[in-house]
A and B are shown apart, each in its own frame.
Chain A
């Protein structure tokens, strides 16, 4: 049964479904006769979840490759610039306790590890401020580029905040009008199988049996194909990451020209944390917490208290939406001729915006490794599963890192987070190692690692972790070079602070005039 792979069926019309569709349809010429046929079927009833309002810088490449104009994306998705995250009250819980995880790598990252040199001045300047100009830009609410910078190009590396609902609609239009994908609105009522257990077709209410060679399950928490049909078990990671409930709210600005934060603000609470994402027309805010440590009423109160700091009494009038979440992922993601992308593959709290980037990474690998025939599909599936198990593990480790370095003892939640039995073995080993050496290139082994060692540096030293100076000398530890990089960072900071517009100013200009492609 060495059948050629000609037709892909994507089930689910949320951001995972349409983003996967855009990546595959653009690369595999779905709009030409010799290209791959791509159909997306979406139930007219099922509401999309609409989480994942933060992306990674990878989204720029993903959109560009799909043939999307960045100007259109800004205009139609209520998008804004994101230059990383600010973590407030994660270490001591004090009012002024905050650190940055920017998207720009530390100065000279390919040449020199600045950690040992910064350590000597750790009491005077934060790690991020010393090695990177981006935290300074965020503090001033500046954009990461100018309106003369071409589309997708940057002055400071950036990602996006976006309205996930509008994003799906935007991608749908692009996929169906430009990229040649077929869109079907119908219910999937059953699955018809081949003798070998593969999915032969999906039984729909109005369109009969929808056949395909590869089926992509983007049905959200339902996991209609991989979970319900194939019964692939779900692997919970709640014993590591406790948060299982979110209360989300849309917050209006005081006026149309209010400043838009150019970073995600994550503020720790007694049993969870609050995300705060600035879009041009509103803020998206939510409290994600552990229901084992906090009641819904208590969580709601903390959220409203947080909001009242910026919008006063209006905080009590806003309607909250409760979302139950199960932290974890499927044991395998690609089974037979079916692969899950998005929430159907798994979900983790949005602490480092890992949801959409996992969709991008999955779609990119499916696209690049699109099996030519059914026989080789099993090889691709095995490699896909290995790679993504590794990725989920690394993301879980990295998220947990934000918790284990806390010095907070004000609730069981923080105490429990630091108990050794809740910390994955690999992370424990690394933490032990990093007492004597700082994270560096060889700590992570894959070429396309989800989080580079720089990210670990930002979190570790942002949270006050101490790495002992080496007992013996190293030739590469060049004091003069280090001082040059610190000076260069100061110079770039000065230059960019005076040369960049505010996030709001630039977004207004993009909406009014647009960016150029060159």
Chain B
């Protein structure tokens, strides 16, 4: 399915990437992983949850776009209708790869940019170029590098955030249940949110510490984002009615 290649300015000199959002480009995901630095922007549009990664069992933060597999209620043939587009959506079709270092001074694996050449976004004719005439990075590719970098930093930040929340027992599991206008019941399991009761019980000292390391804001962003569940259901009902 995927054909990941290490990006370079010779092999991929003439490649362009289509940046528009459309179901035909594989954007119909029902959720995307996001990182703490995005919470403020993302909470204005999407419900945000913690969810366990299927592969590792570790918590990640997700923005939810739909209530069934392959359902993105923000996306239609005219594009993606929200103010904020998560970094992990923006980065497509690029991803971070690691290259083992040959330099004994810096033995850590080096993060490098990979591209999925099987992505429908890859084009020779339309979209954003990756490299300039002389071989330098295009503004678009510079932006992608910054996005990948922010994601890479963000995963580590997520871990620290989740560990802090768990040490204070501030996470709880929720089952999302909704009755749609057509009578259908939707139920989503495996989601976790901020434990509001425990949040209220924190001592002044604990709150101060969370404030100091910037996590208090993140907690309230996560919590506030749940207001968007009603919006998601409304979008779903609208789509059902249009059928």
Binding site for B on A (CB under 8 A): 146-148, 509, 512-518
Q: Chain B 27-65, CB within 8 Å of chain A: the 1/0 string?
A: 000000000000000000000000010101111000000
**Are A148's CB and B57's CB within 8 A?**
yes
Residues of B in contact (CB 8 Å), total: 12
Per DSSP, are chain B's interface residues mostly helix, strand or loop, or mixed?
strand
B59 partner residues in chain A, CB cutoff 8 A: 516
Q: Which of A148, A515, A517 has the most CB of B within 10 A?
A: A148
B171 close to chain A: CB less than 8 A:
yes
A146 partner residues in chain B, CB cutoff 8 A: 57
Binding site for A on B (CB under 8 A): 52, 54, 56-59, 166, 171-173, 190, 192
List 23 A-B residue pairs with CB atoms under 8 Å apart, sorted by A's residue number.
Answer: A147-B52, A147-B56, A148-B54, A148-B57, A148-B190, A509-B56, A509-B57, A513-B56, A513-B57, A513-B58, A514-B57, A514-B58, A515-B57, A516-B52, A516-B57, A516-B58, A516-B59, A517-B166, A518-B166, A518-B171, A518-B172, A518-B173, A518-B192
Give chain A nearest CB distance to B54 CB in angstroms: 7
Taking A509-B57, A513-B57, A516-B57 as given, write out 16 further A-B residue pairs in contact, using a Cβ cutoff of 8 Å, ordered by the A residue number: A146-B57, A147-B56, A147-B57, A148-B52, A148-B190, A509-B56, A513-B58, A514-B57, A515-B57, A516-B52, A516-B58, A516-B59, A516-B166, A518-B171, A518-B173, A518-B192
Inter-chain CA distance A148–B189, complex, in Å, is 12
Give chain A nearest CB distance to B227 CB in angstroms: 23
Give chain A nearest CB distance to B76 CB in angstroms: 32
Inter-chain CA distance A386–B9, complex, in Å, is 82
B58 partner residues in chain A, CB cutoff 8 A: 513-514, 516
Q: Which of A147, A515, A517, A518 has the most CB of B within 10 A?
A: A518
Inter-chain CA distance A147–B54, complex, in Å, is 7
A515 partner residues in chain B, CB cutoff 8 A: 57
Per DSSP, are chain A's interface residues mostly helix, strand or loop, or mixed?
loop
CB-nearest residue of chain A to B52:
A148
Inter-chain CA distance A517–B165, complex, in Å, is 12
3 cross-chain pairs, A with B, having the tightest CB-CB distances, nearest first: A147-B57, A148-B52, A513-B56
CB-nearest residue of chain A to B190:
A148
A512 partner residues in chain B, CB cutoff 8 A: 56
Inter-chain CA distance A512–B172, complex, in Å, is 24
Give chain A nearest CB distance to B31 CB in angstroms: 15
Inter-chain CA distance A127–B190, complex, in Å, is 34
Give chain B nearest CB distance to A148 CB in angstroms: 4
Give chain B nearest CB distance to A3 CB in angstroms: 39
Inter-chain CA distance A475–B119, complex, in Å, is 64
Give chain B nearest CB distance to A150 CB in angstroms: 8
A147 partner residues in chain B, CB cutoff 8 A: 52, 56-57
Inter-chain CA distance A146–B192, complex, in Å, is 17
B52 partner residues in chain A, CB cutoff 8 A: 147-148, 516
B54 partner residues in chain A, CB cutoff 8 A: 148
B56 partner residues in chain A, CB cutoff 8 A: 147, 509, 512-513
Inter-chain CA distance A512–B192, complex, in Å, is 23
Inter-chain CA distance A147–B190, complex, in Å, is 12
Inter-chain CA distance A148–B53, complex, in Å, is 8
Give chain A nearest CB distance to B175 CB in angstroms: 14
A516 partner residues in chain B, CB cutoff 8 A: 52, 57-59, 166
